[in-house]
Chains A and B, each alone.
Chain A
Amino acid sequence: MRARWRRLLSNVVVALCAGAVLLALVPLALVLFYVVTQGISSLSVAFFTEMPKPVGEAGGGMSNAIVGSLMVTGLGALFAIPVGVMSGIYASEYAGSRLASLVRFAADTLNGVPSIVIGVFVYGIAVLPFRQFTALAGGVALGVMMIPLIMRTTEELLLLVPPTLREGALALGATRARAVFTVIVPAALPGIITGILLALSRIAGETAPLLFTSFNNRFFSTDPTQPISTLTVQIYTYAISPYADWHRQAWAGALVLVSIVLLFSLLARFATARMERLQRGQ
């Protein structure tokens, strides 16, 4: 009797958990549904090739914003990759040292800082002193957000490299630097690249840190010392406006943005799977 009641309870809980999964999938489906249906109907060649039209006139596109987003994300990666990878190397090579624990703590902290706060910070150090909103400042803001992700994946993956590789290299007379850069890092490279791609996918969708750094630009620009238009900020501007044409473009922009983010994510997933296979092969 009691056993039946317990089994019933267990089945109920199992059903509830499955229900939770379905419940979470509902908003996912809804969001993707709207983004895809609304976005596709507004996508056109013009969207990718034209610049915004003056306020109130229908038409135009987001060519400057798409390029701008790629550029700012690229600048961020340029800044974040060396810092992230190098500090990751330090944290794995000197794992027991105080600096290593400190940098790990700092990375975890930085990872949790709200993106708007990072925007405020970068405004103070990169915009105000130079009295200019720049794509570069936007890149710095995005880069700061990428650093902890890249650093932690680099560190963890370097620690996973079998010690035999290192011992072999050192036995052949390599200095530590040479051993690390020519043997250990290349061994972990697929995973490091995965980490970078994941960081890129996370950061490509950011809006808040760009509001006060890269600002916005009506015109097409690839000048790092000038404000630049970005997909995310443009979507925001259009979304809160009253113009129906802008709303349509916002959905199209959202579709493009989600596609870019998914592309990076899928690339990263492909690399992780590959890497797991490599690791298991050993």
Chain B
Amino acid sequence: MPTRPPAASRDELLFRAGTGAFALLLIGIVAAIGVELFKESRLSIREFGWHFWLTDIWDPVAGEFGARPFIWGTLYSSILALMISTPIALGIAIYISELAPQWQRRPLVFLTELLAAIPSIVYGLWGIFVLAPFVRSLQLATPEWMRDIPLFSGPPLGVGMLSAALILSIMVIPFSSSVTREVLKAVPQAQREAAYALGATRWEAIRMAMFYARTGIVGAVMLGFGRALGETMAVTMVIGNSPQIAWSLYAPQYTMSAVLANEFTEATSDLYLHALVEIGLVLFVITLIVNVVSRSFIWSMGGQGSSRFRWLRQAAGARA
């Protein structure tokens, strides 16, 4: 820990003020985002109040804006992505940190980070030309009786909730798995050794480690959730961009970030623009809450611990 000099000299003050100014700038930027979003959504907040989030109607012509379909789309796609990605991410984390032989570790870590490094637009491109047609043929292959279930109903378009959820889960996997790996590293080796000493099988030792790290793992999964919530490009290219609330996995739907990307530059009335910014504001607040909660979970687990390069690795997966 750096020690404080006995008396604050002028150089010291200058140094502190100089670097502190940049720190203030960083804080200022975050505050400015919140302020700007709030300022530019005032009209909509005043006009619609809470009903904004309870109404389904998104009608720019009539000036009626209800954002419920977007919240639905965002939550549905993210939760679905979480359901698909979490077991896989956990499996990867456990394998790499507990099971893999030494020679496999580095290449596997490299490969998972490669998954994280692929830009979202490339996933979107792949989604349009490879995944969506695949989902479409999947739909065509489902038997008649299955197609009557609301979950699988709808014409075979290829674009829709399932495609979006699949792409999101691919993008979230490396993220949750790398954070889970770091969290598992923080479990003291002594715990594992004690388990083995008592005759545990590999799975039982792992289960014990996971139980020990349970808050951290929950935090890691939540971080992945936060990532999924904010994802824009890949989602808007495969989700169908249709503001409707539907249970069907095959139905085209719309998310908050997608509607922002599509309609922001052309909101022709001030109310329209403010309604869109209000969606952005809520997206900002939701991701903020999810991130804060997940981080508190992760850190309550065992401090900074072993992860010197935690931020380096987290940085690898940390983009929306």
Per-residue B-contact encoding for A1-27, CB less than 8 Å = 1, 0 else: 000001101101110111111011101
**Which one, A14, A251, A276, contacts B203 given CB within 8 A?**
A14
Tell me whether B320 and A115 are in contact (CB under 8 A): yes
Assembly CA distance A16 to B121 (angstroms):
31
Tell me whether A17 and B92 are in contact (CB under 8 A): yes
- The verdict on A208 contacting B26 (CB below 8 Å), with A35-B122, A239-B128, A257-B121 known, is no
Per-residue B-contact encoding for A211-248, CB less than 8 Å = 1, 0 else: 11000000000000000000010011001100000010
Tell me whether A124 and B230 are in contact (CB under 8 A): no
Chain A residues whose C-beta falls within 8 Å of the C-beta of B12 in the assembled complex:
175-177
Q: Does A73 contact B (CB under 8 A)?
A: no
Whole-angstrom distance between the Cβ of B119 and the nearest chain A Cβ: 2
B52-60, B142-150, B276-284: which one contacts chain A? B276-284
Q: Which of B19, B120, B204 has the most CB of A within 10 A?
A: B19
Tell me whether B33 and A212 are in contact (CB under 8 A): no
Tell me whether B261 and A86 are in contact (CB under 8 A): no
Q: Which of A21, A147, A211, A251 has the most CB of B within 10 A?
A: A21
Assembly CA distance A27 to B174 (angstroms):
12
**Which one, A147, A149, A177, A258, contacts B15 given CB within 8 A?**
A177
Tell me whether A87 and B25 are in contact (CB under 8 A): yes
Tell me whether B117 and A239 are in contact (CB under 8 A): no
Give the residues from 20 to 41 in chain B that come closer than 8 angstroms, CB to CB, to chain A. 20-27, 29-33, 36-37, 40
**Which one, A6, A144, A199, contacts B201 given CB within 8 A?**
A6
Tell me whether A239 and B30 are in contact (CB under 8 A): no
Tell me whether A83 and B128 are in contact (CB under 8 A): no
Chain B residues whose C-beta falls within 8 Å of the C-beta of A147 in the assembled complex:
26, 29
- The verdict on A247 contacting B129 (CB below 8 Å), with A93-B19, A175-B11 known, is yes
A-B contact count (CB 8 A): 303
Chain B residues whose C-beta falls within 8 Å of the C-beta of A9 in the assembled complex:
201, 203
How many B residues face the partner with a CB closer than 8 A?
98
A41-49, A52-60, A99-107: which one contacts chain B? A99-107
- Nearest A residue to B85, CB-CB: A24
Assembly CA distance A276 to B88 (angstroms):
29
Q: Does A125 contact B (CB under 8 A)?
A: yes
Tell me whether A107 and B40 are in contact (CB under 8 A): no
Whole-angstrom distance between the Cβ of A255 and the nearest chain B Cβ: 9
Tell me whether A166 and B2 are in contact (CB under 8 A): yes
Q: Does A250 contact B (CB under 8 A)?
A: yes
Tell me whether B99 and A18 are in contact (CB under 8 A): yes
Whole-angstrom distance between the Cβ of B74 and the nearest chain A Cβ: 10
Chain A residues whose C-beta falls within 8 Å of the C-beta of B19 in the assembled complex:
86-87, 89-90, 93
Chain A residues whose C-beta falls within 8 Å of the C-beta of B26 in the assembled complex:
83-84, 87, 103, 106-107, 110, 147-148, 151
Chain B residues whose C-beta falls within 8 Å of the C-beta of A239 in the assembled complex:
121, 124-125, 128-129, 237
- The verdict on A90 contacting B318 (CB below 8 Å), with A6-B204, A21-B92, A103-B27 known, is no
B107-115, B181-189, B243-251: which one contacts chain A? B107-115
Whole-angstrom distance between the Cβ of B277 and the nearest chain A Cβ: 6
